[in-house]
């Protein structure tokens, strides 16, 4: 879990993923010599802060977003959400502006007359406009689970990197902006589809613990969320999972989304399926995932990338 712990501490809210991009490129360049296949690396000009890794003769692409939720300093001490963070009074926030690092707390003020909620930070001075604040990382680990901010989606990124170790044929795509409306997958899918003819995808992201998807029952294979994937493709994935000994559970939700939204709405014919471990305390500093579900997720991706 050392790699996951390190990634959870990296400041990379939507729109400012550069630090995460640099970390990943350094990690890939240092570790690819130990992977079964050395990938082609596409990054930089034309890819913004995204990274595409191409292994062998790819048939399937993994999409894992590298950004996180957070807050942007507006005027004075006012905050604006980046994505959909939970807003609880007292949450610890960290960031840095032209005057140095800042550790502060979230203030949630509700107007008693109008019911309007105003978000602010509690700090001795005003931070520069546009400064981004993210949850303060506080890593907790037991034999059963790991807990920290930004398991969503540093765990999805971790899973993709673990898949890379043994991947012979496939694409791994690290995308940006997912938490705040997306945008990068639109041009990433175009590059992957036109250059390599790939048209099926797995979404390496983290889902929610719900009444039907508890901790400890394996990786979740999603039949739908706010989007509906093509059933025949999902059934292929379920058939592979059934013939394995890897624990999994089926998810059905009516809300939520991922990088798959852009795949479903793009001009190219993509099949996709969300496959990810469930977490509790979503979009808070206390996101919690069971280690057994992490193991199941990593094993399932290795198998699916071989069989699909």
Sequence-separated (6 or more) residues with CB below 8 Å from residue 295 = none
* pLDDT for the residue 113: 87
| Domain 70-135 in this protein, CATH class | mainly beta
Domain 2-68+140-307 sits in CATH at 3.40.630.10
Burial class (CB in 10 A: 0-12, 13-18, 19+), 125: exposed
Tell me the domain boundaries of the chain: 2-68+140-307, 70-135
What are the angstrom distances between the C-alpha of 125 and each of 108, 115, 131? Answer: 18, 27, 13
Sequence-separated (6 or more) residues with CB below 8 Å from residue 119 = 71, 78, 79, 80, 81, 87, 106, 107, 108, 109
* pLDDT for the residue 210: 95
State how far the Cα of 163 lies from the Cα of 73, in Å rounded to an integer: 37
pTM listed for this prediction: 0.97
State how far the Cα of 174 lies from the Cα of 47, in Å rounded to an integer: 10
* pLDDT for the residue 182: 94
pLDDT along the chain (308 residues), means of 10: 97 98 98 98 97 98 98 97 97 97 96 91 96 98 98 98 98 98 96 98 97 97 95 98 98 93 95 98 98 98 98
- Phi/psi at 131 (5° precision): -60, 135
State how far the Cα of 218 lies from the Cα of 97, in Å rounded to an integer: 41
* pLDDT for the residue 112: 86
Neighbours of 74 (CB within 10 A): 14
* pLDDT for the residue 256: 87
* pLDDT for the residue 180: 96
Q: Select from 4, 20, 2 the least CA-distant residue to 175.
A: 20
């Amino acid at each position: 879990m050392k790699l996951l712990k390190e990634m959870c501490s990296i400041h990379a809210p939507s729109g400012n993923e550069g630090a995460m991009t640099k970390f990943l490129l350094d990690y890939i360049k240092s570790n690819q010599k130990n992977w079964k296949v050395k990938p082609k690396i596409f990054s930089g000009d034309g890819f913004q802060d995204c990274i595409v890794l191409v292994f062998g003769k790819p048939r399937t692409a993994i999409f894992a977003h590298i950004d996180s939720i957070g807050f942007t300093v507006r005027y004075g001490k006012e905050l604006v959400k980046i994505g959909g963070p939970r807003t609880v009074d007292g949450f610890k926030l960290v960031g840095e502006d032209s005057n140095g690092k800042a550790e502060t707390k979230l203030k949630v003020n509700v107007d008693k007359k109008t019911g309007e909620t105003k978000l602010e930070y509690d700090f001795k001075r005003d931070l520069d406009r546009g400064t981004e604040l993210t949850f303060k990382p506080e890593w907790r680990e037991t034999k059963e689970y790991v807990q920290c901010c930004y398991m969503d989606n540093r765990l999805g990124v971790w899973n993709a990197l673990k898949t890379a170790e043994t991947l012979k044929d496939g694409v791994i795509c690290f995308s940006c902006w997912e938490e705040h409306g997306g945008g990068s997958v639109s041009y990433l899918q175009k590059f992957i589809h036109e250059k390599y003819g790939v048209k099926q995808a797995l979404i390496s992201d983290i889902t929610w613990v719900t009444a039907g998807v508890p901790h400890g029952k394996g990786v979740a294979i999603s039949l739908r969320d706010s989007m509906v994937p093509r059933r025949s493709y999902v059934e292929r994935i379920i058939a592979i999972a059934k013939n394995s000994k890897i624990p999994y559970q089926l998810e059905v939700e009516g809300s939520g989304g991922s990088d798959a939204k852009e795949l479903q709405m793009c001009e190219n014919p993509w099949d996709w399926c969300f496959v990810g471990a469930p977490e509790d305390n979503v979009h808070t500093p206390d996101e919690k995932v069971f280690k057994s579900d992490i193991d199941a997720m990593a094993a399932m991706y290795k198998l699916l990338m071989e069989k699909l």
